[in-house]
A and B are shown apart, each in its own frame.
Chain A
Amino acid sequence: MSANAMSRSLRKLGLGLKEHYGIIATNKLSLLGFWIIVLFTLVAAFAPWIAPHEPWEMLFDSKGEFAALRAPSWEFPFGTTHLGYDLYSQLVLATRTTLLIGATSGFISIIIGANIGLIAGYYGGKVDEVLMRLTDILYGMPFLPFIIILIALFGRKLEFVILAIVLIIWRTSARVIRAQTIAIKQRQFIAMARARGASDLRIIYVHILPNVLPLLLLYAAFNIAWSIITEASASFLGFGDGETISWGGMLYELWLSGKTRVAWWWFATPSVCIILLVTSLVFVSRAYEEVANPRLRKR
Chain B
Amino acid sequence: MQAPKTETKQPLLSVRNLGVAYKTAQGPVHAVSNISFDLAENEVFGIAGESGCGKSTLIRSLLRLLPDSATVSADACLYRGQDLMGLPDARFRKDILWSEISLVPQSAMASFNPVYRVGDQIIESIRAHKSVSKAEARERCKALFDVVGLEAGLLDSFPHEFSGGMRQRAMIAMALSLDPGLIVMDEPTTGLDVLVQERILRRIREIRSEIKSSIILITHDIAVIAEMSDRIAIMYGGEFMEQASAVDLFEQPYHPYTLGLKNAFPSIRNIGAELISIPGSPPTLIGPLQSCPFAPRCPFAVAACRSANPEIVGLEGGQHQVRCVRHADAVGFREQAKEKAVWQF
Enumerate chain A interface residues (CB-CB to B < 8 A): 299
Contact = CB atoms under 8 A, between A and B. Distances in A.
A217 B4 CA distance: 60
B71 to A, nearest CB: 14
A299 B69 CA distance: 7
Nearest to A298: B69
Contacts of B67: 299
Interface of B: 67-69
Contacts of A299: 67-69
A299 B24 CA distance: 8
A299 B25 CA distance: 10
B20 to A, nearest CB: 15
B91 to A, nearest CB: 26
Specify the main secondary structure of chain A where it touches its partner. loop
A299 B67 CA distance: 9
3 contacts: A299-B67, A299-B68, A299-B69
Contacts of B68: 299
A185 B201 CA distance: 37
Contacts of B69: 299
A294 to B, nearest CB: 15
A176 B261 CA distance: 47
Nearest to B24: A299
B157 to A, nearest CB: 28
B233 to A, nearest CB: 29
B121 to A, nearest CB: 25
A299 B22 CA distance: 10
A64 B208 CA distance: 102
A295 to B, nearest CB: 13
A193 B67 CA distance: 37
B134 to A, nearest CB: 36
A299 B68 CA distance: 9
A-B complex: 3 closest residue pairs judged by Cβ atoms = A299-B69, A299-B67, A299-B68
B116 to A, nearest CB: 24
Nearest to B22: A299
A299 B23 CA distance: 9
B105 to A, nearest CB: 19
Nearest to B68: A299
B286 to A, nearest CB: 17
A288 B68 CA distance: 25
B262 to A, nearest CB: 32
A62 to B, nearest CB: 58
Nearest to B67: A299
B21 to A, nearest CB: 14
B29 to A, nearest CB: 13
A257 B68 CA distance: 58
Nearest to B69: A299
Nearest to B70: A299
